[in-house]
Amino acid sequence: MSELFEKLQPHLDKAYAYRVAMTMLNWDNSTAAPKEAIDFTSKAMAILSGENYKALINDVVKGLLQQLSTDEENAKLTPYEKAIVKNMKKEFRNMELIPPEELQAFEIVLAKAYPVWEEAKNTNNYSIYAPVLEEIISYTKRFAGYKQKPGQKLYDVLLDEYEEGFTMEILDEFFCQLREALIPLVAQIRKKPDWISIDCLRKNYDIETQKKLSHFLAEYIGFDFNRGVMAESAHPFTTNLHNHDVRITNHYLENKLEDAIFSIIHEGGHALYEMDIDDAITTSPIGGGTSMGMHESQSRFYENNLGRSMEFWKPLFGKVCEFFPEELKDVTLEEFYKAINYAKPSLIRTQADELTYSFHIMIRYEIEKMIFDGDVDVKELPRIWNEKYEEYLGMTPENDAEGILQDMHWAGGSFGYFPSYALGSAIAAQLFHYMEGVMPVKKYLEEGNLVPVREFLCEHIHKYGGSKNTQELLLDTVGEAFNPKYYIEYLTEKYTKLYEL
């Protein structure tokens, strides 16, 4: 470590400590905190946010970053240190542009927003959520405006925060390709509505037993309960303090066994990414996944490319039957495999099948573009939402709870995030295609041996954390940049065979 970088390290450590405290409060707020705690807790979160700001945005840090960016000093840095300096310069610029008092005020709004969203969803009352959503959008527009470069569109500013280098131009083309390929495929499948039965998944599955099954599946794919915990929340998510403290949540529905199964495999994929990050950088600014898209690729890889394959369940289905011997006693592996891959347009994104999932993302993407590069009244969003569901999926939500209130992301200020879900699915297919060419992936799955798969992902993706961006990781791993053709080919081949089209 260079002498200059040593001087920067205490500032990074202090900021990390504040981030840990805020992460803990957010985790508690989403899992175990009493409803009436939020007003006072939000005050603590606002103070922590202000202290985190001051730990990084000050003249000393600014001077150190400037010195570390000179050719002479930069040459003394390790690759990880160079990545940290690059990340810090971007972070510094973004945070320096936002007045600290506005950032603190925004944190208070966000701290209150999640419980309001949850109440609105539970009571099907968008009107109580609309004012706080409008406030979040207002702050987000203002902050994006501070960061906006000449000629840059406002929504592109937000997209770049989650997936560096991906713009509306790139995403419009990506979603255009998906529409052209998937709409005809979905139309063909709609003509065979009774081809696959999902009755085996709609029996009454005891919730406590589902929790035990979820614990088993998390361990099976590699989640280390010595370095992680599992809880319950309204919307499954993953968070972490560092690679030795990674936390996942799940939710359970008595008559939808697949919800718990695939939510835990999905969140497990996120968690493995965080657990496998190099110890040397886990508490640093590059100590998390490099982007939302790459992070989502890991969860989708485990959930879909592995978890919805026949090979994955060959050594596992008997184990699942041991958890539910009565409910699954007359169900074959073939019936179970088809049921978990059943394709039919639905209203709930998190319950969507693998084939139609990206339509849910397109809808949110188009609405976000309207919000940030257009002019739309927040009160009109439920109507716009419903119209787009009718246009893309031929369905209209009966109420806002199964419509615009179903996702928590906007309550957290996460605008520009949703496209990452579709990008992640496409990146997962690209990685899976490459891995099949260099190792017998399906053979490993049939043997119940996921170790070689995880080791490959750790070696080529996970351990680097945020030291490389998505395109760099793809180029270094598979030899080409982002390419959606593998995703389209994967879905087309899989569902053409499954539905015998």
pLDDT of 91 reads 85
Residue 145 neighbours by CB under 8 Å, 6+ apart: 154
How many other CB atoms sit within 10 Å of the CB of residue 99?
13
Per-residue pLDDT at 100 exceeds 90: no
Per-residue pLDDT at 234 exceeds 90: no
Is residue 135 one of the residues assigned to a domain?
no
Is residue 155 one of the residues assigned to a domain?
no
Amino acid occupying residue 320: V
Residue 25 shares a structural domain with residue 103: yes
By annotation, the residues acting in catalysis are 267
Is residue 144 one of the residues assigned to a domain?
no
Residue 84 shares a structural domain with residue 209: no
Residues 207/254, Cβ–Cβ less than 8 Å: yes
Q: Which of 93, 125, 157 is the last residue of a domain?
A: 125
Is residue 182 one of the residues assigned to a domain?
yes
Average pLDDT, the chain: 95
Per-residue pLDDT at 1 exceeds 70: no
Q: Tell me the pTM.
A: 0.90
pLDDT in tens, 148-203: 999 999 999 999 999 988 999 999 999 999 999 998 999 999 899 899 999 999 99
Kindly report the CATH number assigned to the domain that includes residue 368: 1.10.1370.30
Instruction: Please give the average per-residue pLDDT across 52-75, as a whole number.
Output: 93
Beta-sheet strands, E only, within 176-223: none
pLDDT of 35 reads 82
pLDDT of 301 reads 98
Structural tokens at position 460: 């080529």
Residue 249 shares a structural domain with residue 376: yes
Residues 408/26, Cβ–Cβ less than 8 Å: no
The alpha-carbon radius of gyration of the chain (Å, integer) is 23
Per-residue pLDDT at 136 exceeds 80: yes
Burial readout 176-205 (b: 16 or more C-beta within 10 A, e: otherwise): eebeebbeebbeebeeeeeebebebbeeeb
pLDDT of 312 reads 98
Instruction: Please give the average per-residue pLDDT across 116-144, as a whole number.
Output: 96
Residue 221 shares a structural domain with residue 89: no
Residue 68 shares a structural domain with residue 178: no
- Angstrom CA distances, 15 to 21, 148, 277, 442, stand at 10, 25, 19, 43
Residue 115 shares a structural domain with residue 174: no
Amino acid occupying residue 209: T
pLDDT of 379 reads 95
pLDDT in tens, 389-432: 999 898 999 999 999 999 999 999 999 999 999 999 999 999 99
Alpha-carbon distance 166 to 293, whole Å? 10
pLDDT in tens, 19-43: 999 999 999 988 989 988 988 898 8
Instruction: Please give the average per-residue pLDDT across 488-496, as a whole number.
Output: 97
Q: Which of 125, 147, 179 is the last residue of a domain?
A: 125
Domain residues for the domain of 289 are 168-498
pLDDT in tens, 438-488: 999 999 999 999 999 999 999 999 999 999 999 999 999 999 999 999 999
Is residue 357 one of the residues assigned to a domain?
yes
Residue 395, Cβ density class (10 Å: 0-12 exposed, 13-18 middle, ≥19 buried): middle
Q: Is 499 helix (H, G, I), strand (E, B) or coil?
A: coil
pLDDT of 107 reads 87
Alpha-carbon distance 410 to 120, whole Å? 13
Burial readout 309-336 (b: 16 or more C-beta within 10 A, e: otherwise): bbbbbbebbeebbebbeebbeebeeebb
Number of domains within the chain: 2
